[in-house]
Amino acid sequence: MEPYITFTQIKDYLFSPMTTYLQNIYREFTDSCWKGEALVAGKQAHESIEDGRYSQRKGVLLGKTAYWSEMNVGGKIDVWLPEEGGLLVERKRLVDRVWDGDRAQLYAQYFALKEEGVPVRRLAVHSLATNRRFFLPVPGRKEKEWLVGIINEMRSRGGGEWLFTRAPDARAERSIYAGLNW
């Protein structure tokens, strides 16, 4: 079986392979040793989902663990809202557009939920700071091939070799992970 990859690792890999590599190293340390203010704020933005405070509405899925067995990819989704037409939402503290990593993360979540029989008909990235949603089309064959290619690229490189496979995206210098990159 192929190594397990999380939804977040896919996003982070597209953001900056170096970030993914260093997060795996720092994971063993206390958060305060390596997480800066912005990264802590981002984690706090997800706390209402993790502890179930975001919504009490019946049928809403919050922080659900999902698994895409075809690719051995999984993790937690933020929110699935049946009353909004089966809307899958990935919440971010502050975004001004959808980046490839965000798109890949949502697509992987979509395929995991689809495999589990959850009817996802819409996708969105939600910026908490601006209360703005960025909608994405439901992925088709072409988008799935793109995502599978990224996952296979990650696996073919292995942990340390991720550093040299692709350049960080344009946000890396001003991101919450900038302190992890050298």
Residue-wise pLDDT tens digits, 127-176: 999 999 999 999 999 999 999 999 998 888 765 454 445 555 555 555 55
Residues whose CB falls within 8 Å of the CB of residue 27, separated by 6 or more in sequence, listed in order: none
Q: Domain spans of the chain?
A: 5-166
Tell me the C-alpha distance between 64 and 8, whole Å: 14
Residue-wise pLDDT tens digits, 60-112: 788 899 999 999 999 999 999 999 999 999 999 889 999 999 999 999 999 99
Q: Is 153 exposed, middle or buried (0-12, 13-18, 19+ CB in 10 A)?
A: middle
CATH topology of domain 5-166: Lambda Exonuclease; Chain A (3.90.320)
Please state the pTM of the whole predicted model: 0.76
Number of H helices, E strands in the chain: 6, 8
